[in-house]
Structure 1
Amino acid sequence: MESELGIPLKRRGGKAGGGWRRLLRRRVPLLRWLPRYDRVSALADLVAGITLGLTLVPQSIAYASLANLPVQYGLYSSFVGTMLYVVLGTVKEVSIGPTSLMALFTLQICRGLPVEFVVLLTFLSGCVVLIMGLLRLGFLVELISPSVTSGFTSATAIIIVAAQLKGLLGLSFTAESVGDNIRLIVTKWDDVRPADAALGAVCCSVLLLLRKLKDVRVRSERLSRVLWLVSISRNALVVLAASSFAYLTHHPHQPPLFKLSGRVEPGLPRLSAPPFSASLDNSTVTFVDMVHTLGSAVIMMPIVMVLANIAIAKAFSAGGRVDATQEMVTLGLCNMAGSLVHAMPTCGAFTRSAVSHSSGVRTPAAGLYSGIITLLALIFLTQYFYFIPKACLSSVLICAVIFMVDLRIVFRLWRTDRQELAVLALTFCVSVARTVELAVLAGALGSLAVLLRQLMRPAVSVCALKTSAGEVVRVRAALGVLYVSAELLARRVARAAHAAAPRPVLLDCQHHAMLDYAAVKMLERMIKKFKTDEQLLIIYNVPEEHLQRYSELEGVDARSLRATSVAAALASVAHDADESVTLLTGTERAHDAHDDHDAHDPLV
């Protein structure tokens, strides 16, 4: 007797608890690794957790700034997910928290809206992701191809860089697109603050230099470890140095030298239910109105969330195997719990996951230590966050996302698959011109259109062969035969038959993994036409799963269907069963079936 999950409810001994224990261990991964947890693993996780915390705190502050939220909301978003993932997470490197993609998404959706909308978006996104996980809808993410992912990731980096240039130059304005940012920067060039621009240039230079520090080869293992630690802690070090300089040069009775982050709400966030109403334009909006205002983002945000999180989990999991259901359930619960402490939407971050991996993390417990560091920062350091220069935060963001622009895939797709390159370009352009959520939808539809076009216009090869029994013509379609391509294959076979008459025509079904009713009817008409014209049609090399359907076709020689070569197919229909046929020579020409100008081919 089994449950719906396929887990035995009873063992031979009659105990019903074994299945539940197995289910609990599967859905609470902590129970799998905690019994084997030792001091060595604890020390490794402590080092990785502290290192991750030094990366997480400055990034969270910067991402809150990117989302146009007060600094503390970035920190509110960075401890619940990391701690909850310790219990429910399956990939030790994944770090749940604010990311550049989620921050940019939040900015585009909630621009000009009260912070209650951001918190509600976090809660609703978590609910949708949880439902997706419970319904095992992870396969939907696979409809989004790597080209789409690369396109909107690269576009996100460009959008963030363009949006942060104003902070780097000490300017203040509101812009909704890359073009608006560039235009307003040019218009307000006379208002550029030299001190902020200089600080931004210095921070960017130091961040890029420290990024390469870990690649410096030294003989001393200890020194190499120190250089590595300094390199991956570069964001914290630069923010600390810039804040200290701003603090030392600050005078209470004079304007600050740099634009500063301003007052940060001290202490831990207040625990409360997600807001189901908000004040907007001196009126109270209801939950329904808030959801209507958020619109399609309630669906698109969770999809992008899951896409990013599972992609990172696959990148760092052993063998690339990921329990997508568990990851979605965990991500949904992390966002739902985060909304209770006023968090912005969160998911896994590739940069922080890479830091955990390079730090030698052993288990998800590292997230506990990084979460504690964030809590300590909220309790003891918020008064000092006032002095963080905005130009420094802009530098951190720019240097973090600029390497997300993937140029290598563009050159690779140019050489190998220009249709996928077109999908990438479509996603990139829609992201930059409109929004990331619309770009993901457009890219997914573009990928499906490319796939449909390949099914509708499969490549068909026509091959003239010489055998000991005479010349024959072989026709082979590269994909399965479906209603969208059946008539096209029929036309190509008819052309080949007309050009080759009265020679036999062999239809190679090796790649006919897909066969529907329309294709079967087409084959029936084709067989009748060949019979009427008194020309031999041999169908051979049929996949095992379709043998039954092909053998039911009237006029088909069942002996040829299992033949796997031209010689065997011809021998199977020979008048003398002992007659052997030998393939002497053949020259194959492959043609893309969407090209109807085949006059250059004497067989077609």
Structure 2
Amino acid sequence: MTKYKLKSDFRHSSQVTLTSYMANENQLINDNDNTSPSSIDDDNNVGGIDNHGMIMDTEQQNENNRSVSIGAALAKCNPDMMNERLQCSNCGRKDSNSVVLNIPDQKSVRRRKSLQNPPNPTLTAWLKERARRSCTKKILYKKVPIFQWLPNYNKSLAISDLVAGFTVGLTVIPQAIAYANVAGLPPEYGLYSSFMACFVYTVFGSVKDSPVGPTAIAAILTRENLHGLGPDFAVLLCFLSGCVMLLMGILQLGFLIDFISGPVAVGFTSAAAIVIATSQIKDILGLTFSAAKFLEVWEEVFAHISETRLWDTVLGIVCMAVLLLLRKVKDIKVAPDSKEKTQIQCAAEKFLWFISTARNIIVVIVCALMAFVFEEHGMKPFILTGEIKAGLPTFQPPPFSTSVNNHTYNFLEMTSNLSSAIFVVPLLAVLENIALAKVFAEGKPIDATQEMLSLGLCNIASSFVNSMPVSGALSRGAVNNASGVQTTFGGIYTGLIVLVSLKYFTPYFYYIPKASLAAVIIAAVVFMVEFHVVKPIWRSKKVDLIPAVATFLSCLFIRLELGIVIGITINVIFLLYASARPSVRVEKMNSQSGYEYLCITPDRSLRFPSVEYVRKSISKAGARLGYSSTPVVIDARHIQGADFTAAEGVKSLIDDFMRRNQALLFYNLKPSIVSVFQGVHPKDLRLCNSEMELNEMLKACQTTKPRPSENCNN
């Protein structure tokens, strides 16, 4: 009996190669007279040839090969087939004793059967399968990025992160106190918002430059939606925002950020910066009144302008000037670039950079010392921050009910008062963090879904320590990047500095003048106003100014969250209009043989909003320019997709052309689109895929008039 080795086809094809490794052809024919054609012999007492033509011993064959004997059916075949030289499927060698038979191996048969008759999994089985696929090393590294860099973390990286984290910590303390004031919350809530998110983002964050904490935009959105109801609502908003972001990340909704276009984002950030700066005017002037909206603030400012405090105003203006000047100190050239710098010059550069980077804390400390000296001498020229609750916050769940002005709000009433902020705040927080990431990404792709997951966890964890909503701050991100941060571990040092300040230094925050904190905020947000992009937008595409201006004015005079919704709506309307009114190019052309035809080229896919417009355009062009006799060729090279409505429209278009005996041909139509069109059974769908086919079809259409039953080419 001649033994054959079965070579499994890894692509599950039914064609497999059987290689003879015993006896000769005569023995094969003689032995196979008494052998069934497809019997399988499990006798493995002989050696074999492996997939690469190497001799295998008995043990190797037992492990890797199955023996198949070929009987009378093969013996009756042409003997020349036995000598046919076929190339081995797994290597470049040729075997003179190879034949190809359509005998699939058992594994491929089982696989094919499972694909043809897939079982209907239960919900439990489906969940188990999804969990199994999710629990891979690749997914773990992607969802918990700390595992990517922690094994390679070394001393030099730790030093860089320590310097960056310490510098950002000095920046975030005065900003946190000021942002709490912007949000209408007690100062300690700004500090409560500045440490827990840093710890969580270190583990789950994917952007090393992003220092998560209180931001100007999150603070002003919190203020506009609190309605003076107190800190408990801000903490609940932080928790719910985190839940929404986490859910968006789980559902892979990172693409939603793409619907916020550049002009809309510019209009929103510019309006938000002006609203934030306006909210600090009263502290610069030393006024005391309650107002939240842009116009209301200016009305109150002019109503109380006579109550302006001179020294608060002077201090606020001087602080703003000093902050803006110190911002430029780092750009001072200590030595020419062409010369090698000495140690003194290098030290001077680092000193200037540190002064510029830590300008906020320097200004606040100097102002607090001035206020302390005045207080010791019995003078109170400035309005001070006042008492800040000392110590660390209590770790507890966010409040799901609270009492304000002798009225108890349950969870549903609290969420009802927060209304749209539950969805707008997380969306804008993710947008702010993605914008920060893109600035320092250096061309690397940003995973918006992962940022949603990490920011969601940051907000949920922060809500357990009485935090308001948090996100990545662009101003602190610039400090982080300039400080040379290497990993997200820099956030650990930032959080520790905030904890130390809460534990030991809160009594000294009493002397910080409110005017100095207002100056810190105004000096930070003034660069968020992006009027400089108006000219490039005007030069590139003027219509993009419409959503930008609409968003800016709506955010400024109505509400921030409504303004960005209005801007997104206008953008979506523009997208729908462009989809419903595609460009249709019409031109007269000649084929290779000189046959004249009308070429019509739609510039995009056929979807239901544009079908009627395209149908009318083609029909009108065929009647006017083609004189109802010249063949019309639709060049479908740009049509990447179509739907049922498009198929119905094409069927109607074919009927129109058949009624007036005018040829209608489709050129370069993709097979997937052809199947969509054929699904509605058009009477005469004529297709061509090359210049030669088109020329032949035009020739046929010139000699005979098209009939409903005629098809020039299928």
What TM-score does the superposition give when structure 2 sets the normalisation length?
0.75
The reply on whether 1:354 has 2:470 as its aligned counterpart is no
Q: Which piece of structure 1 moves more, 114-123 or 522-531?
A: 522-531
Q: Which piece of structure 1 moves more, 448-457 or 524-533?
A: 524-533
The reply on whether 1:378 has 2:502 as its aligned counterpart is yes
The one of 493, 501, 513 aligned to 2:618: 493
Q: SS at the partner of 2:467?
A: coil
Q: What are the Cα deviations for residues 536-576 of structure 1, in whole angstroms up to 9, with x where unaligned?
A: 32321324542444567432332x2x23xxx6574141438
The one of 337, 360, 370 aligned to 1:235: 360
- For residues 304 and 6 of structure 1, what CA distance do their matches in structure 2 show? 34
Q: Which piece of structure 1 moves more, 87-96 or 184-193?
A: 184-193
Question: 1:415 corresponds to which residue?
Answer: 539
Question: 2:390 corresponds to which residue?
Answer: 266
The reply on whether 1:437 has 2:573 as its aligned counterpart is no
Question: 1:245 corresponds to which residue?
Answer: 370
Q: What are the Cα deviations for residues 340-388 of structure 1, in whole angstroms up to 9, with x where unaligned?
A: 1111110111111121111111111100111111111112211111111
Q: Which piece of structure 1 moves more, 322-331 or 123-132?
A: 322-331
Q: Which piece of structure 1 moves more, 549-558 or 485-494?
A: 549-558
Q: What are the Cα deviations for residues 35-77 of structure 1, in whole angstroms up to 9, with x where unaligned?
A: 1011110111111111111111111111111111111110110
Q: Which piece of structure 1 moves more, 148-157 or 435-444?
A: 435-444
Q: SS at the partner of 2:331?
A: coil
Q: SS at the partner of 2:220?
A: helix
Question: Contact conserved, 2:538 with 2:545, CA < 8 A, in 1?
Answer: yes
Instruction: Give the direction of change, closer, same or farther, for the CA distance of 1:70–1:19 in structure 2 (3 Å limit).
Output: closer
- For residues 393 and 132 of structure 2, what CA distance do their matches in structure 1 show? 43
Question: 2:665 corresponds to which residue?
Answer: 538
Question: 1:519 corresponds to which residue?
Answer: 646
Q: SS at the partner of 2:485?
A: coil
Q: SS at the partner of 2:579?
A: helix
Question: Contact conserved, 1:114 with 1:279, CA < 8 A, in 2?
Answer: no
- For residues 569 and 480 of structure 1, what CA distance do their matches in structure 2 show? 24
Q: Which piece of structure 1 moves more, 301-310 or 63-72?
A: 301-310
Task: Report the CA distance between 1:103 and its aligned residue.
Answer: 0.3
- For residues 433 and 269 of structure 1, what CA distance do their matches in structure 2 show? 37
- For residues 8 and 284 of structure 1, what CA distance do their matches in structure 2 show? 42
Question: Contact conserved, 1:540 with 1:569, CA < 8 A, in 2?
Answer: no
Instruction: Give the direction of change, closer, same or farther, for the CA distance of 1:215–1:115 in structure 2 (3 Å limit).
Output: same
Q: SS at the partner of 1:506?
A: strand
- For residues 453 and 5 of structure 1, what CA distance do their matches in structure 2 show? 44
**Identical columns (%):** 38
Question: Contact conserved, 2:330 with 2:352, CA < 8 A, in 1?
Answer: yes
Question: 1:45 corresponds to which residue?
Answer: 161
Q: SS at the partner of 1:525?
A: helix
Q: What are the Cα deviations for residues 448-506 of structure 1, in whole angstroms up to 9, with x where unaligned?
A: 11110111112222223456625433222222212211111111112211222133322
Instruction: Give the direction of change, closer, same or farther, for the CA distance of 1:438–1:473 in structure 2 (3 Å limit).
Output: same
- For residues 568 and 52 of structure 1, what CA distance do their matches in structure 2 show? 69
Gaps of 5+ in 2: 1-110, 112-124, 336-344, 704-714
Instruction: Give the direction of change, closer, same or farther, for the CA distance of 1:550–1:288 in structure 2 (3 Å limit).
Output: closer
Larger Rg: 2
Question: 2:712 corresponds to which residue?
Answer: none
Q: SS at the partner of 1:75?
A: helix
The reply on whether 1:104 has 2:220 as its aligned counterpart is yes
Question: Contact conserved, 1:3 with 1:9, CA < 8 A, in 2?
Answer: no
Letter aligned with residue 459 of structure 2: N
Matches within 5 A, 1:277-292: 277-292=401-416
- For residues 445 and 696 of structure 2, what CA distance do their matches in structure 1 show? 46
Task: Report the CA distance between 1:177 and its aligned residue.
Answer: 1.9
Q: What are the Cα deviations for residues 283-316 of structure 1, in whole angstroms up to 9, with x where unaligned?
A: 2222222122212222222222222223323433
The reply on whether 1:170 has 2:286 as its aligned counterpart is yes
Matches within 5 A, 1:136-535: 136-219=252-335, 220-251=345-376, 253-254=378-379, 256-317=380-441, 319-465=443-589, 469=594, 471-500=596-625, 501=627, 502-535=629-662
Matches within 5 A, 1:17-36: 19-36=135-152
Q: SS at the partner of 2:480?
A: helix
Task: Report the CA distance between 1:157 and its aligned residue.
Answer: 0.4
Letter aligned with residue 146 of structure 1: G
Question: 2:685 corresponds to which residue?
Answer: 556
Task: Report the CA distance between 1:23 and its aligned residue.
Answer: 4.1
Task: Report the CA distance between 1:325 and its aligned residue.
Answer: 3.1
Instruction: Give the direction of change, closer, same or farther, for the CA distance of 1:529–1:241 in structure 2 (3 Å limit).
Output: same
The one of 112, 125, 128 aligned to 2:241: 125
Higher relative contact order (CA 8 A, sep 6+): 1
- For residues 26 and 484 of structure 1, what CA distance do their matches in structure 2 show? 39
Instruction: Give the direction of change, closer, same or farther, for the CA distance of 1:477–1:183 in structure 2 (3 Å limit).
Output: same
Question: Contact conserved, 2:189 with 2:466, CA < 8 A, in 1?
Answer: yes
- For residues 569 and 290 of structure 1, what CA distance do their matches in structure 2 show? 70
Letter aligned with residue 313 of structure 1: A
Task: Report the CA distance between 1:98 and its aligned residue.
Answer: 0.1
Letter aligned with residue 514 of structure 2: K
Instruction: Give the direction of change, closer, same or farther, for the CA distance of 1:339–1:154 in structure 2 (3 Å limit).
Output: same
Letter aligned with residue 472 of structure 1: Y
Instruction: Give the direction of change, closer, same or farther, for the CA distance of 1:221–1:576 in structure 2 (3 Å limit).
Output: farther
Question: 2:232 corresponds to which residue?
Answer: 116
Task: Report the CA distance between 1:6 and its aligned residue.
Answer: 8.7
What TM-score does the superposition give when structure 1 sets the normalisation length?
0.88
Q: SS at the partner of 2:616?
A: helix
- For residues 666 and 139 of structure 2, what CA distance do their matches in structure 1 show? 50
Question: 2:22 corresponds to which residue?
Answer: none
Question: Contact conserved, 1:114 with 1:278, CA < 8 A, in 2?
Answer: no
Question: Contact conserved, 1:259 with 1:390, CA < 8 A, in 2?
Answer: yes
Task: Report the CA distance between 1:195 and its aligned residue.
Answer: 0.8
Matches within 5 A, 1:60-75: 60-75=176-191
Question: 1:59 corresponds to which residue?
Answer: 175
Q: Which piece of structure 1 moves more, 484-493 or 223-232?
A: 223-232
Instruction: Give the direction of change, closer, same or farther, for the CA distance of 1:212–1:80 in structure 2 (3 Å limit).
Output: same
Letter aligned with residue 245 of structure 1: M
Instruction: Give the direction of change, closer, same or farther, for the CA distance of 1:237–1:568 in structure 2 (3 Å limit).
Output: farther
Task: Report the CA distance between 1:182 and its aligned residue.
Answer: 1.9
Q: Which piece of structure 1 moves more, 36-45 or 518-527?
A: 518-527
Instruction: Give the direction of change, closer, same or farther, for the CA distance of 1:227–1:553 in structure 2 (3 Å limit).
Output: farther
Question: Contact conserved, 2:160 with 2:484, CA < 8 A, in 1?
Answer: yes
Question: How many residues in Structure 1 have an aligned counterpart in Structure 2?
Answer: 565
Question: 1:588 corresponds to which residue?
Answer: none
Q: SS at the partner of 1:464?
A: strand
Task: Report the CA distance between 1:404 and its aligned residue.
Answer: 0.8
Question: Contact conserved, 2:202 with 2:491, CA < 8 A, in 1?
Answer: yes
Question: Contact conserved, 2:595 with 2:695, CA < 8 A, in 1?
Answer: no
Question: 2:33 corresponds to which residue?
Answer: none
Question: 2:67 corresponds to which residue?
Answer: none
Question: 1:595 corresponds to which residue?
Answer: none
Task: Report the CA distance between 1:322 and its aligned residue.
Answer: 2.7
Q: Which piece of structure 1 moves more, 202-211 or 547-556?
A: 547-556
Q: CA RMSD in A?
A: 2.5
Task: Report the CA distance between 1:148 and its aligned residue.
Answer: 2.0
Task: Report the CA distance between 1:110 and its aligned residue.
Answer: 0.7
Q: What are the Cα deviations for residues 78-130 of structure 1, in whole angstroms up to 9, with x where unaligned?
A: 00001111122111111110000000011001131121111111111112212
Q: SS at the partner of 1:381?
A: helix
